[in-house]
Amino acid sequence: DPACGAPLPVLGRDVTVPLVTGGEVTYAALDYAASAPALQRVWDDVAAYAPYYGSVHRGAGYLSQLSTDLFENSRVTVAEFLDCRDDDQVVFTRSTTDSLNLLAAALPADCQVFVFETEHHASLLPWRDARVTYLNAPRTPGEAVATLERALADRDPYGPALVCVTGASNVTGELWPVRELAAAAHAHGARIVLDAAQLAPHHPVSVQELDVDWVAFSGHKLYAPFGSGVLAGRSDWLRAAEPYLAGGGASRKVARRADGGVDVEWHDSAARHEAGSPNVIGVYSIASACKALTEAGFDSIVEREQSLIRTVRAGLAEVPEVRVLSLFGDDAPRVGVISFVVEGWNSSHFAAALSAEYGIGVRDGLFCAHPLVRTLLGSDPQTQGECGAPEAAPGEKSLNAIRVSFGAGTPDEHVERFVAAVK
- Interacting residues with ligand PMP (CB under 6 A): 33, 95-97, 120, 122-123, 166, 170, 195, 197-198, 218, 368
- Shorter beta-carbon distance to ligand PMP: residue 3 or 373: 373
| Residue tagged active-site, from 111, 290, 368, 387 | 368
Q: By C-alpha distance, which of 417, 420, 422, 423 is closest to 29?
A: 417
Contact yes or no for 406/198 (Cβ under 8 A): no
Measured at the CA of 245, the angle between CA 282 and CA 230, to 5 degrees, comes to 35
Active site residue 387: no
Give me the least distance between CB of 122 and ligand PMP, in Å please: 4
Per-residue burial over 12-33, b if 16 or more Cβ lie within 10 Å, else e, is: eeeeeeeeeeeeeebbbbbbbb
| Bridge partner residues of 191 (DSSP) | 162
- Shorter beta-carbon distance to ligand PMP: residue 68 or 326: 326
Q: Which residues contact 20 (CB under 8 A, 6 or more apart)?
A: 356, 357
- Shorter beta-carbon distance to ligand PMP: residue 176 or 418: 176
Q: By C-alpha distance, which of 237, 312, 349 is closest to 3?
A: 312
CA distance 112 to 132: 6
Give me the least distance between CB of 166 and ligand PMP, in Å please: 5
CA distance 73 to 80: 11
CA distance 222 to 205: 12
- Shorter beta-carbon distance to ligand PMP: residue 215 or 419: 215
Torsion, Cα of 7, 363, 166, 327 (10° steps) = 110
Report which DSSP code applies to 368. T
CA distance 2 to 416: 10
| Bridge partner residues of 403 (DSSP) | 339, 363
- Shorter beta-carbon distance to ligand PMP: residue 123 or 285: 123
CA distance 141 to 153: 19
Give me the least distance between CB of 96 and ligand PMP, in Å please: 4
CA dihedral sign, ordered 228, 69, 211, 179: negative
Radius of gyration of the chain (CA): 22
Give me the least distance between CB of 423 and ligand PMP, in Å please: 28
Give me the least distance between CB of 350 and ligand PMP, in Å please: 20
CA distance 238 to 102: 9
Give me the least distance between CB of 182 and ligand PMP, in Å please: 17
- Shorter beta-carbon distance to ligand PMP: residue 126 or 315: 126
**Maximum Cα interatomic distance, the chain, rounded to a whole number of Å:** 77
- Shorter beta-carbon distance to ligand PMP: residue 68 or 218: 218
Give me the least distance between CB of 153 and ligand PMP, in Å please: 27
Give residue 422's identity as a one-letter amino acid code: V
- Shorter beta-carbon distance to ligand PMP: residue 362 or 392: 362
CA distance 156 to 416: 53
Give me the least distance between CB of 95 and ligand PMP, in Å please: 3
CA distance 162 to 298: 30
Which residues are annotated as catalytic? 368
